[in-house]
Amino acid sequence: MQEDATRWTVHGSQRIYASPWVNLDLDDVEIPGGRRFGHHVIRFDRPSVGAVIVEDDRVLLTRRHRFTIGRSGWEIPAGWCDEDETPMVAVRREALEETGYAVSSVEHLFTHYPLAGISTHQFQLFVCGGAVKQGEADRSETAELGWFTWPEVRALIQDGEIPDGSSMIALTFYLSTRR
User: Kindly report the CA angle at 5 between 44 and 121, in degrees rounded to 5?
Assistant: 10
- Give the structural domain span for 107: 48-178
Residues 28 and 54 in one domain: no
CATH value at residue 140? 3.90.79.10
Cα-Cα end-to-end distance for the chain: 35
Taking only the tens place, the pLDDT of each residue in 23-79 is: 999 999 999 999 999 999 999 999 999 999 999 999 999 999 999 999 999 999 999
Relative to beta strand 123-129, strand 48-55 is parallel
Taking only the tens place, the pLDDT of each residue in 4-21 is: 889 999 999 999 999 999
Residues 82 and 161 in one domain: yes
Residues 89 and 148 in one domain: yes
CA distances to 2, 14, 75 from 23, in Å: 33, 11, 25
Q: What is the DSSP letter of 24?
A: E
Indicate whether 110 belongs to any domain.
Answer: yes
Cα–Cα distance, 92 to 23 (Å, whole number): 26
CA distances to 7, 12, 125, 175 from 42, in Å: 19, 15, 21, 31
Residues 29 and 82 in one domain: no
For the cut 70, the answer to whether the pLDDT of residue 2 exceeds it is no
Indicate whether 1 belongs to any domain.
Answer: no
Residues 33 and 74 in one domain: no
pLDDT of residue 27: 99
One-character DSSP codes across 113-148: -TTTTTB---EEEEEEE--EE-S---TTT-SEEEEE
Cα–Cα distance, 165 to 179 (Å, whole number): 20
Provide the number of structural domains found in the chain.
2
The pLDDT mean for the chain works out to 96
pTM over 0.85: yes
Residues 61 and 82 in one domain: yes
